[in-house]
Structure 1
Amino acid sequence: MKSTFLCAAVLAAFTGPVFAQSAEVPDNLEKLSNFQSTGVTEFTFVEQGGDYAAGIEKTLAGITLPPGFKIGLYAIVPDARHMAVGPQGIVTFVGTRKDKVWSVTDRNKDRVADEVKDFAPSLQFSIPNGPCFSKDGFLYIAEQNRVLLFPAAEFFYESPDVAAFNLVAKGDLIPVEEESFNHTARVCKIGPDGKIYISLGQPFNVAPAEKLDLYNQVGIGGIIRMNTDGSGREVYTYGVRNSVGHDFHPETGELWWTDNQVDGMGDDIPPGEINRQTEMGQHFGHPWFGGGSVRTNEYKGEDVPVDVVMPAVETVAHAADLGMSFYSGNMFPAKYKNAIFSAQHGSWNRTTPVGARVMVTFIDGEGNATTEPFAEGWIDENGEYLGRPVDVVSLRDGSILVSDDLAGALYRIWYEGN
Structure 2
Amino acid sequence: MSIFRRGPRTAALLASTMFAGAVMLSASAHAQSTDNMQKLSNFQQTGASMEMETVPQTGPRADAFNKTLAGIKLPDGFKIALYAIVPDAREMAVGPTTGAVFVGTRKSKVWAVTDRDKDRVADEVKVFAPSIQFKLPNGVCFSKDGFLFVAEQNRVLLFPAAEFFYEGPDVAAFEVVKQGELIPPSEESYNHTARVCRIGPDDKLYITLGQPFNVFAPEKYDLYKKAGIGGIVRMDRDGKNRDVYAWGVRNSVGMDFNPKDKTLWFTDNQVDGMGDNIPPGELNRATEAGQTFGFPYFGGGNVRTVEYKDQTPPADSVKPEVEMEAHAADLGMTFYTGKQFPAQYRGGIFSVQHGSWNRTDPVGARVMFTSLNEDGTAAKSEPFAEGWLVDGEYLGRPASVAQLNDGSLLVADDTSGAIYRISYEK
Normalised by the length of structure 1, the TM-score is 0.93
Counterpart residue identity of residue 130, structure 2? P
Deviation at 1:289, TM superposition (A): 0.2
Question: Which residue is equivalent to 2:45?
Answer: 37
Q: Deviations over 1:168-216 (max 9, x none)?
A: 0000000001100100100000001100100000000001110010011
Deviation at 1:280, TM superposition (A): 0.4
User: Do the aligned partners of 1:82 and 1:131 also contact (CA within 8 Å) in 2?
Assistant: yes
Q: 1:57 aligns with which of 55, 58, 66?
A: 66
Question: Which residue is equivalent to 1:10?
Answer: none
User: Do the aligned partners of 1:127 and 1:185 also contact (CA within 8 Å) in 2?
Assistant: yes
Counterpart residue identity of residue 142, structure 2? F
- Alignment partner of 2:189: what SS? coil
Distance 1:408 1:31, change over 3 A: same
Q: 1:405 aligns with which of 392, 411, 414?
A: 414
Question: Which residue is equivalent to 1:368?
Answer: 377
Counterpart residue identity of residue 385, structure 1? Y
Find the aligned partners of 1:186 and 1:24 in 2 and give their Cα distance.
25
Gaps of 5+ in 2: 1-29
User: Do the aligned partners of 1:147 and 1:168 also contact (CA within 8 Å) in 2?
Assistant: yes
Find the aligned partners of 2:84 and 2:314 in 1 and give their Cα distance.
48
Counterpart residue identity of residue 206, structure 2? Y
Question: Which residue is equivalent to 1:214?
Answer: 223
Corresponding pairs, count: 395
- Alignment partner of 1:56: what SS? helix
Find the aligned partners of 1:414 and 1:116 in 2 and give their Cα distance.
21
User: Do the aligned partners of 1:25 and 1:170 also contact (CA within 8 Å) in 2?
Assistant: no
Distance 1:24 1:315, change over 3 A: farther
Q: 1:165 aligns with which of 142, 165, 174?
A: 174
- Alignment partner of 2:223: what SS? helix
Find the aligned partners of 1:48 and 1:367 in 2 and give their Cα distance.
41
Deviation at 1:25, TM superposition (A): 7.0
- Alignment partner of 2:291: what SS? coil
Say whether 1:27 aligns with 2:35: yes
Find the aligned partners of 2:92 and 2:371 in 1 and give their Cα distance.
22
Question: Which residue is equivalent to 1:123?
Answer: 132
Q: 1:275 aligns with which of 278, 284, 288?
A: 284
Return 23-32 or 399-408, whichever deviates more: 23-32
- Alignment partner of 1:31: what SS? helix
User: Do the aligned partners of 1:89 and 1:395 also contact (CA within 8 Å) in 2?
Assistant: no
Deviation at 1:264, TM superposition (A): 0.2
- Alignment partner of 1:250: what SS? coil
Question: Which residue is equivalent to 1:388?
Answer: 397
Deviation at 1:336, TM superposition (A): 0.6
Larger Rg: 2
Find the aligned partners of 2:107 and 2:190 in 1 and give their Cα distance.
11
Deviation at 1:155, TM superposition (A): 1.1
Gaps of 5+ in 1: 1-21
- Alignment partner of 1:367: what SS? coil
Q: 2:305 aligns with which of 292, 296, 306?
A: 296
- Alignment partner of 1:213: what SS? helix
Find the aligned partners of 1:23 and 1:51 in 2 and give their Cα distance.
39
Question: Which residue is equivalent to 1:75?
Answer: 84
Q: How does 1:8-407 map to 2 (within 5 A)?
A: 26-41=34-49, 42-369=51-378, 370-380=380-390, 382-407=391-416
Deviation at 1:305, TM superposition (A): 3.7
- Alignment partner of 1:26: what SS? helix
Find the aligned partners of 2:260 and 2:247 in 1 and give their Cα distance.
24
User: Do the aligned partners of 1:24 and 1:170 also contact (CA within 8 Å) in 2?
Assistant: no
Q: Deviations over 1:229-283 (max 9, x none)?
A: 1111000001000000000001000000000000000000000000011110000
Counterpart residue identity of residue 59, structure 1? T
Deviation at 1:23, TM superposition (A): 8.5
User: Do the aligned partners of 1:29 and 1:123 also contact (CA within 8 Å) in 2?
Assistant: yes
